[in-house]
Structure 1
Amino acid sequence: MSLVNDPASVDSTFRRIADIVHELYSRDVDSDTVIAELAEHAAVEVPGALYAGVTVTRNAKHIDTPAATHHWPILLDEIQQRHREGPCLTAAWEEKTVHVADLTRDERFPLYARDVLAQTPIRTIMAFQLFIAGETMGALNVYAETPNAFGPESREIGLIFAAHSSVAWNAARRDEQFKRALASRDAIGQAKGILMERYGVDAVQAFALLRKLSQDANTPLVRVASDLIEGTLPARQDG
């Protein structure tokens, strides 16, 4: 993609990003697909970017890479976890944007820089904080193999892309949680119906029996309900 040099082009890029996110969300795809495709688009839309990836962490100690356009972003996250330092972690937890213009000269992440320079061709990184629901923190990251690859337009467009990505990913994850909750409720309801019909008990008693089966088996309630529906769990235990 050519560099964006005028306000009209920037506005056009912003509209294209909004259209990308809207089209992706309107397809009703799962959250893994949403974040993977957003990373692919980030590598194209952010001026100067060659690769893109998403870093996710709950406690700054364990890092996941749910999306990457190349194996370099995955390796860079492994290096961040090894040393518990790096621009993507910092963006996720402390700052909105972190820009490493030239990794050979940047002194903020010495252990990270040492390993990245030794193991990858990456020389420039820009990381944008992602706002993720819950306790999870994250960053959308773009990478280049030449120093000083990112300019003001890269930062501006990256910030907009990260904001849209946060909204789209959170929406997809909420939809999945809602669908799982509905499936769990339906399974429990069916299991209660089986117990009510089989033993002539009411709904409260059926749920109490279902909960006892769960406790005795040390198994989540919805799993016990599913097993009961499928006929792989006895409806009542002796004693």
Structure 2
Amino acid sequence: MPAQSSRELARTLGDLAVRMQAQKGTGETLHTIVEAAADIVPGARWVGISLIQGRKVLAKAPTDPIAAKLDELQNELGDGPCLTALRDHQTVHIEDMSTEDRWPEFSRQAMAFGVHSMLSFQLFVESENLGAMNLYGAEARCFSKESVEVGTVVAQHAAVAMFGAAAAGQFQSALASRDVIGQAKGILMHRNNVSGGQAFAMLTRASADTNIKLVDVARWLVSEHESDLE
């Protein structure tokens, strides 16, 4: 994308923050982020996000299969600009793949896909490292100082939005779990003429005896009860 004036950029970033806030769930948020980065950051042709899930780094929401392949390639190689950005907590800039000597195999394969430059930004909030946003360019030296500055701001907005979306998802999941456990308690109270505390103790004992999560035991009981009613 061509450079924008400071006023245009401020308005664009403000609109982006509103759009990300309006998304429902992490998936929609990620797609909004990569599409915005491709539109806003000068030089960006393809964009992908690598998320940390446990001990794995997973490629998510690529704007193009090229971005997905290069994000996944770094996992296969066990090294690359994205993994370095995550590990060293820094922005990584490859100006020209043909002269890049830190990741020779990655650079060689990237050029085979028509990628000649790259920016990788760590996505983090104060308490958590979420992943990295990877921008790929079709020409050498297509990322300028402005690209780095704009990309940094987009990455900051993205990290906050991702953290918020994940927290909202966890909250909804917790509410759903509490609801199904409450239903299961009610079933046991009715079947066995016991108190709520006694019903909950029965659920926790079944969970411990079967080595199955409490919420999954509750879901099974509710499902069985609903089947009996049909």
Shared fold (TM-score, shorter chain, > 0.5)? yes
1:46 and 1:154 in contact (8 A); partners too: yes
1:97 to 2:91 alignment: yes
Specify the code of the residue in structure 2 equivalent to 1:43.
A
Residue 45 of structure 2 is matched in structure 1 by 50
**Alpha-carbon distance, 1:232 to partner:** 5.7
Bigger Cα displacement from structure 2, 69-78 vs 153-162: 69-78
Q: Report the equivalent of 1:3.
A: 3
- Judge conservation of contact 1:63–1:77 (CA < 8 Å) in 2: no
Equivalent residues in 2 for 1:63-74 (5 A)? 63-74=57-68
Deviation at 1:135, TM superposition (A): 6.0
- CA deviation vs aligned residue, 1:40-70 (integer Å, no higher than 9, x gap): 11111101111111012357x7321121100
| Secondary structure in structure 1 of the residue aligned to 2:97 | coil
Is 1:20 paired with 2:13?
no
Q: What letter is aligned with 1:62?
A: K
The alignment partner of 1:52 has SS state of: strand
> What is the CA distance between 1:95 and its match in structure 2?
3.2
Tell me how far apart the structure 2 counterparts of residues 110 and 232 of structure 1 sit (CA, whole Å): 60
Return the alpha-carbon distance in structure 2 between the equivalents of residues 111 and 78 of structure 1: 14
Partner SS, residue 157 of structure 1: helix
**Aligned equivalent of 1:82:** 76
Structure 2: stretches of 5+ with no match in the other structure: none
CA distance in 2, matches of 1:171, 1:148: 34
Map 1:65-214; keep pairs closer than 5 Å: 65-118=59-112, 120-131=113-124, 137-214=130-207
Q: Distance in 1 between matches of 2:39 and 2:165?
A: 22
Q: In 2 relative to 1, CA 15–131 (structure 1 residues): closer, same or farther, beyond 3 Å?
A: same
Match of 1:219, SS state, is: coil
- Partner AA of 2:74 in structure 1: Q
Pairs aligned (count): 228
Q: What letter matches 2:18 in structure 1?
A: H
Fraction of identical pairs, as percent: 37
Task: State the AA in 1 paired with 2:97.
Answer: L
Deviations 1:118-166 (A, max 9, x none): 3x11111011110168765411111111100110110110000000000
1:48-97 deviations in Å (ceiling 9; x for gaps)? 111111012357x7321121100111111222112211111111221321
2:29 paired residue number: 34
TM-score normalised to structure 1 length: 0.87
* TM-score scaled by length of structure 2: 0.90
Point out where structure 1 has 5 or more consecutive residues left out of the alignment: 235-239
Query: Which residue number corresponds to residue 237 of structure 1?
Result: none
Q: Aligned Cα RMSD in Å?
A: 2.2
Contact between 1:85 and 1:109, CA under 8 Å: does it hold in 2?
yes
2: CA distance, partners of 1:191 / 1:134? 35
Contact 1:52 / 1:73 at 8 angstroms: preserved in 2? yes
Instruction: State the 1:231 CA deviation.
Output: 2.0
Shift of 1:26: 2.6
Partner amino acid, structure 1, of 2:48: G
- Give the deviation of 1:210 after TM superposition: 0.9
- Post-superposition shift, 1:213? 2.3
Distance in 2 of aligned mates of 1:231 and 1:137: 39
